[in-house]
Chain A
Amino acid sequence: MKGSSQKLAPYLFIGPSIILLTLFSLLPILLALVISFTDMDLSGLVNYDSIRFIGLENYTNVLLDPSFIKSLGNTLFFVIIGVPLVLIFSLSIAILINMGKSRAFKIFRVVFYLPSVTNVVAVAVVWSYLYNPTLGLFNYVLGLMNLGPVPWLTDPTVAKVSLIVLAVWRGIGLNMIIFIAAIKGIPGSYYEAAQLDGANTWQQIRYITLPQLRYAIFFVSITTMIGWLQFFEEPFVMTKGKPLDGTLTASLFIYNNGFQFSKFGYAAAGSFILFFAIIAVTLIQFRLQNKAES
């Protein structure tokens, strides 16, 4: 009796989680693959008989869809500009905070981390107000300095940059914490030896801190990049992809097609193309990292 309950126990502990993860994570990915080869839409939701298997048609159509191509271009723009900015800012701030000798520097950790934990919708609403062309604080301050108003959210290219500014502001905190943790792991004796050799602060950062942070930098650049490839909430709340699809991201395109236009098959195909793009970019990153190692 005792023996059989011992055998069953682990399955009872992991069971609920395994069932939920299978139902809402593993099964969906197979289902998405199947749906992406069909023309499933709102009518297919009511009547399964109306769903037709159409092979690769969704994939060829979505790859020729001008707004999908535009969304991929925008997403690439966000990744290329956003990832280095998040890396540079979070790393510099982590190094600066770590240089502080007094306990007061712990307050800076909290201040810089704060935007990361707050609600993204609320933050997007607040920034929309700051970016408002006539009432916004930013254009008012620029006016005080006799600089012309900036079309923060009304010009396709400037709007992309505006969203990047907001997302970098939000993205600094978590990555900074990861860097601070990694810096704390560097043995203090390295710095003492360097100081004996007469190395200045900049040389210590250049030849000890940065090389020792190699893995942390790699980790942050991969997770940040994946995050930017899935960029959704900020453009959804602030611009809805406007103006002229200038801030339409791949995620927003998938959401619109899936839940606004109920083109489930088409959106699923788009989501797989994004998935493959994420895998490809991640593999390239790993390849580059390995090359740099050897």
Chain B
Amino acid sequence: MNVRTAVQQARANTRSGEKTFQWFVATLLTVGGLLMVLPFAWMILSSFKTEGEVTQIPPTIWPQHFTLDNFKLLFDSMAFGTYLTNTLIIVLASFFGLFLNAMAGYGFAKFQFKGKGFLFYLVLATMMIPGQVTMIPVYLILNQMGLTNSMLGIVLPGLVGAFAIFLFRQFMSDIPEELLEATRLDGAGEFRTFLQIVLPISTPIIAVQAILTFIGGWNSFLWPLIIANDEKLYTLSVGLSLLKGQNESQFALQMAGSTFMVVPIMIIFIVFQKYIIENYTISGIK
């Protein structure tokens, strides 16, 4: 009797027990899962209630008077349109940063040059420096460059990141050398080789990084908060924290602001979650 059949027999003996156990696990996870989504469900439902209904006791679950007024208010009397534009500019800029990360990853993966090892350790070292230590000097550097209270000042410090460079390097190391040589022999310059051969091959890693970059850019909070004095430069996160401070008792409005921030990310995440989770499976633990 080989191992497999023995295991199958053991499994058959406990099949009914196994089934009960599966149900037990599923129930446990469902209860936990409901607790995980409860705050989001409450947020979305409350954002469609009138201000009067939100402060009503006992609270209603489903909106009695379904209204979009809270969302209108965000755009009409608050500057959520401006915040949205700024946030999208930051997202676009972070995609340019992603391109720079890919370039650096390629440089480290496929070239031999003087100082390579040292420079790569330098890149990795930046991962260990906590944001609290750098935030004051970075502010002073930007101030010296005359970039405080500007979009460039918000975007520049977070443009490239060591972790993304590291991931690109790992992925691009596996690109066959012959392919690159063949392109070079055809007379293509280094940069054209990168654009026309390397980037298309790297689509899987770029896709994952792009989703994570989008989420990061959309959620950006601390730098815009520090650098922007002018409301014209606020991002959605900064605008929302401002909204909470100034409209402490208007909960329906606050929930509408939160819903507006969270739902787009939820949709993007749910659509692309397979790729994100696989990326962690590949690169998370080695």
Chain A residues near B (Cβ < 8 Å): 5-7, 9-14, 16-18, 20-29, 31-32, 35, 45, 93, 96-97, 99-102, 104-105, 108-115, 117-123, 125-130, 132, 134-135, 137, 140, 169, 172, 174, 177-178, 180-182, 184-185, 192-193, 195-196, 201, 215-216, 219, 226, 230, 232-233, 236-237, 250-251, 254-255, 258-259, 264, 267-268, 271-272, 274-275, 278
Task: Say how far B138's CB is from chain A's closest CB, in angstroms.
Answer: 5
Which of B55, B136, B265 is most buried by chain A, counting CB atoms within 10 A of its CB?
B136
Q: Are A137 and B280 in contact (CB under 8 A)?
A: no
Given contacts A10-B111, A13-B194, A118-B265, contact A20 B159 (CB under 8 A): yes
* Residues on B with beta carbons closer than 8 Å to the beta carbon of A180: 281
Which are the 5 A-B pairs with shortest beta-carbon distances? A13-B107, A10-B111, A17-B104, A28-B137, A31-B137
B194-228 at interface with A (beta carbon < 8 Å): 194, 215, 218-219, 221-222, 226
* Residues on A with beta carbons closer than 8 Å to the beta carbon of B107: 9-14
Is B269 positioned at the interface, with any CB of A under 8 Å from its CB? Answer: yes
Per-residue interface assignment for chain B, residues 234 to 249, with 1 indicating a CB less than 8 Å from any chain A CB and 0 otherwise: 0011001100100000
B105-128 at interface with A (beta carbon < 8 Å): 106-108, 111-113, 116, 119, 122-123, 125-126
Query: In this complex, what residue of A is CB-closest to B33?
Result: A111
Q: How far is the CA of A134 from the CA of B6 in the complex (A)?
A: 61
Q: Are B273 and A113 in contact (CB under 8 A)?
A: yes
Task: Out of B32, B111, B133, B280, name the residue touching A13 (CB < 8 Å).
Answer: B111
Query: In this complex, what residue of A is CB-closest to B187?
Result: A2
Given contacts A111-B37, A137-B42, contact A16 B266 (CB under 8 A): no
One of B21-29, B62-70, B74-82 contacting the partner: B21-29
Q: Are B190 and A9 in contact (CB under 8 A)?
A: yes
B121-150 at interface with A (beta carbon < 8 Å): 122-123, 125-126, 129-141, 143
Given contacts A135-B54, A135-B251, contact A17 B265 (CB under 8 A): no
* Residues on B with beta carbons closer than 8 Å to the beta carbon of A5: 189-190
Q: Are B284 and A181 in contact (CB under 8 A)?
A: yes
Query: In this complex, what residue of B is CB-closest to A44?
Result: B140
Given contacts A111-B37, A113-B277, A135-B55, contact A16 B100 (CB under 8 A): yes
Taking chain B's interface residues, is the majority helix, strand, or loop, or is none over half, making it mixed?
Answer: helix
Q: Are A125 and B25 in contact (CB under 8 A)?
A: no
Is B255 positioned at the interface, with any CB of A under 8 Å from its CB? Answer: yes
A-B contact pairs, 18 of them (CB 8 A): A13-B103, A13-B107, A16-B104, A17-B101, A17-B160, A21-B123, A21-B126, A21-B160, A26-B129, A28-B138, A32-B137, A100-B25, A108-B29, A118-B40, A121-B237, A126-B43, A184-B281, A258-B135
* Residues on B with beta carbons closer than 8 Å to the beta carbon of A35: 136-137, 140
* Residues on A with beta carbons closer than 8 Å to the beta carbon of B176: none
Q: How far is the CA of A47 from the CA of B36 in the complex (A)?
A: 52
Task: Say how far A75's CB is from chain B's closest CB, in angstroms.
Answer: 11
Query: In this complex, what residue of A is CB-closest to B261?
Result: A122
Chain B residues near A (Cβ < 8 Å): 3-4, 6-7, 10-11, 21-22, 25-26, 28-29, 32-33, 35-37, 39-40, 42-43, 46, 54-55, 57-59, 100-101, 103-104, 106-108, 111-113, 116, 119, 122-123, 125-126, 129-141, 143, 156-157, 159-160, 162, 165, 189-191, 194, 215, 218-219, 221-222, 226, 236-237, 240-241, 244, 251, 254-255, 257-259, 261-262, 265-266, 269-270, 273, 277, 280-281, 284-285
Taking chain A's interface residues, is the majority helix, strand, or loop, or is none over half, making it mixed?
Answer: helix
* Residues on B with beta carbons closer than 8 Å to the beta carbon of A23: 141
Q: Are A114 and B226 in contact (CB under 8 A)?
A: no
Given contacts A24-B134, A119-B219, A177-B280, contact A110 B103 (CB under 8 A): no
Q: Are B122 and A18 in contact (CB under 8 A)?
A: yes
Q: How far is the CA of A45 from the CA of B148 in the complex (A)?
A: 12
Task: Out of A14, A20, A111, name the residue touching B36 (CB < 8 Å).
Answer: A111
Given contacts A7-B113, A10-B113, A117-B215, contact A21 B43 (CB under 8 A): no
Task: Out of A16, A119, A137, name the residue touching B59 (CB < 8 Å).
Answer: A137
